[in-house]
A = this chain, B = another copy of it.
Amino acid sequence: MTSSPTDSKATNIVWHEAAVDRDSRASQRGHRSAILWFTGLSGAGKSTLANAVNVELFQWGLATYVLDGDNVRHGLCCDLGFSDADREENIRRIGEVAKLFLDAGVITLTAFVSPFRADRDRARALVGSGDFIEIHCAAGLEICEQRDPKGLYAKARAGVIKEFTGISSPYEAPESPELRIDTSGRLEDNVAEVISYLEGQGLIAAD
């Protein structure tokens, strides 16, 4: 809080000491915040897994939020297309917004293809070590293409969509993600793996 000349000094001191920061939020809520960055091919189940973990964490009473295509692409990033520059800017903004949520004490789950290592690393570098948990949703291309929940692979194969990740544009898999999950398996198992990791890190704790 900045002071203004009309404030009494005593008031400023009291309010300054009480300033709300990430630590005070963690103390009040009983848990730290973190960014859970889900990355993987289209159809790998990032959003499904992130939302399922979110439900689980919410039921534990934790402050959480999912950023994904549904609430970001049509809003904050509605001015961006799919050129290389725009995809980079998209991920940059998501990283910055995730950082704000982190600061607000919220466990933030982001679910975007985010195919390029450099973009993910930039997002990681925005926040402190231990605050960024990269989760590779590692269903293989064949399975993702079979699922094709939005019909995007079909369009990419037909050449209707250019530069589609996995088909005509590379997916740079994380080399050492905090967590690599085989999302061709059962959702319940995948959720349990994430929860178990978060418990192991002391980020969350069963009562």
Point out residues on A near B: beta carbons under 8 Å. 1-8, 11, 15, 18-20, 24-25, 28, 43, 45, 47-48, 51-52, 54-55, 58-59, 61, 63-65, 67, 71-72, 75-76, 79, 89, 93, 96-97, 99-101, 103-106, 126, 146-147, 149, 184-188
Contacts and interface: CB of A to CB of B under 8 A. Distances in A.
B71 A20 contact: no
A76 B58 contact: no
Contacts of A47: 1-2
Nearest to A24: B58
Given A58-B28, A97-B100, A15 B71 contact: no
Contacts of A106: 104, 106
Contact of A149 (B4, B19, B146, B187): B4
Contacts of A48: 1-4, 7
Nearest to A47: B2
When A and B form their complex, which 5 residue pairs have the shortest distance between CB atoms, in order from nearest? A1-B51, A76-B96, A65-B104, A75-B96, A20-B58
In the complex this chain forms, how many copies of it are found?
2
Contact of A67 (B4, B64, B100, B147): B100
A21 to B, nearest CB: 10
Contacts of A99: 75
10 contacts: A1-B47, A1-B48, A4-B187, A6-B45, A20-B54, A65-B100, A75-B96, A75-B126, A76-B96, A104-B106
A170 B75 CA distance: 28
A147 B4 contact: yes
Contacts of A51: 1-2, 15, 19
Contact of A15 (B25, B52, B67): B52
A55 B103 contact: no
Nearest to A7: B187
A136 to B, nearest CB: 17
